[in-house]
Structure 1
Amino acid sequence: MKGGKSKSDTRNAKLSVNKKPAKAGRKSGKAAKDPNKPKRPASAFFVFMEEFREQYKKDHPKNKSVAAVGKAGGEKWKSMSEADKAPYVAKAEKRKVEYEKDMKNYNRRQAEGTKPEEEEESEKSMSEVNDEDDDEEGSGEVFFLGMF
């Protein structure tokens, strides 16, 4: 090429233009999830799919496609009457009641657990402040003694 930038230079310049700089002061992503928090219950359709997947695998052992299983399950669910869906709806409601009970217990434990932790942190903070004061006084004495 005559005088100017090579192709790789312009390509690198284009790539660097498309990058977005990180914004300072923002939190990245979502807050961390608590592993002890109960999982949400499955809907009636997903309760149905649990059983449907097993049956589908028995009927179609060579099929490895997850999409095919999902598509067949969705079609079957749509074609079912409300009476056919009733057992799955009942199971989903039962799971929902259990989930709500577990969430109440979880929230109660969280409320009880946060109070002692806050007190411990405040005591720790106070001791750290006192330790820093002691260090400053001690370093002043060493500095003073070091001069004479």
Structure 2
Amino acid sequence: MGRPKGSLGKNSKKKVKDVNKPKRATSAYFFFLAQCRKEAAKAGKAPTKIAEFTKEASEKWKALSADKKKPFEAAAADDKRRYETEMAVYKGKSVDPNKPKRPPTAYFLFLADYRIRMANKGIEHKELLKMAGEEWRSLSNEDKKPYEKKALEESKKYESAMTEYRKTGGASGGPAAKKAKVVEEDEEDDDEEDEDDDEDDDE
């Protein structure tokens, strides 16, 4: 006996996407993949087989050292902050303003200096990140020390500030903790929705 007319299969029902929902954050790997596509296009080797191209890019990504991945991870962290800010506005909620901000890494401190140096030169954001990454990789360990020292200082300040934050309610279930928990729960919901979106895109 055939399936009754009008019945829906397990994956027949599609979620209607909210066009006003902020674009989700791009991962470090996808920033790297975008660069691979750009470089291939410049070399006149635009990929014809997407699966093969992404497989090769994935292997290159795995082979990259942690230091070479930093520019892409920085771009991803930057985009994640953009996403979280836009989602807070989208949902009408705000992140606890009293919660200490995460400390910048050595590379982020370098990137801040680099942006100042390259200001008003009309360079695209992605191109600037690529150039900054190349310069960072070319720096000697001695040249990187000031940024690493500053990053360590900022990390200690953050840990101290977080300890104080928890004492004033961050860890005891006070207003700060409750607000932070709401935001975290919302982010978990977003992750679940994003997984569903991935399944839809793959079909």
TM-score normalised by L of structure 1 = 0.53
2:76 counterpart (78, 82, 92)? 92
Which residue pairs with 1:37 in the alignment? Answer: 21
CA distance change for structure 1 residues 70 and 52 in 2, over 3 Å: closer, same or farther?
same
SS of the residue corresponding to residue 72 of structure 2 reads: helix
Corresponding residue of 2:65: 81
Go from structure 1 to structure 2 and tell me whether the alpha carbon gap of 1:22 and 1:45 turns closer, same or farther (over 3 Å shift): same
2:30 paired with 1:46: yes
| Mapped contact 2:25–2:76 kept (Cα < 8 A) | yes
Secondary structure of residue in 2 paired with 1:108 = coil
Q: CA deviation at 1:96?
A: 0.2
**CA offsets, 1:1-60, max 9 Å, x none?**
xxxxxxxxxxxxxxxx34355459xxx724422111101111100011111111123335
> In the alignment, which residue of structure 2 is the partner of 1:119?
none
Aligned residue-pair number = 90
Amino acid at match of 1:73: A
Change (3 A) 1:70 1:31: closer
Relative to structure 1, the CA distance from residue 67 to residue 30 in structure 2 (aligned partners, 3 Å threshold; closer, same or farther) is closer
- Aligned partners of 1:38 and 1:102 also within 8 Å: yes
Q: Aligned residues: percent identity?
A: 34
Deviation, 1:94, is: 0.4
Alignment of 1:55 onto 2:39: yes
Report deviation, 1:64: 1.6
User: Is 2:94 the partner of 1:101?
Assistant: no
Q: CA deviation at 1:66?
A: 1.3
Q: Bigger CA drift: 28-37 or 39-48?
A: 28-37
Under a length normalisation based on structure 2, what TM-score does the superposition of the two structures give? Answer: 0.39
Any conservation in 2 of the 1:56–1:69 contact (CA below 8 Å)? no
Q: Which moved more, 1:81-90 or 1:56-65?
A: 56-65
For residues 41 and 91 of structure 1, the distance between their equivalents in structure 2, rounded to whole angstroms, comes to 10
Counterpart residue identity of residue 55, structure 2:
K
Q: C-alpha root-mean-square deviation of aligned residues, in Å?
A: 2.4
- Which contiguous aligned blocks of 4+ residues in structure 1 show a shift greater than 3 angstroms? 20-24
Among 54, 61, 65, the alignment partner of 1:70 is 54
Query: Greater share of helix residues, 1 or 2?
Result: 1
* Alpha carbons 1:49, 1:73 under 8 Å: kept: yes
Structure 2 stretches of 5 or more lacking a match? 94-203
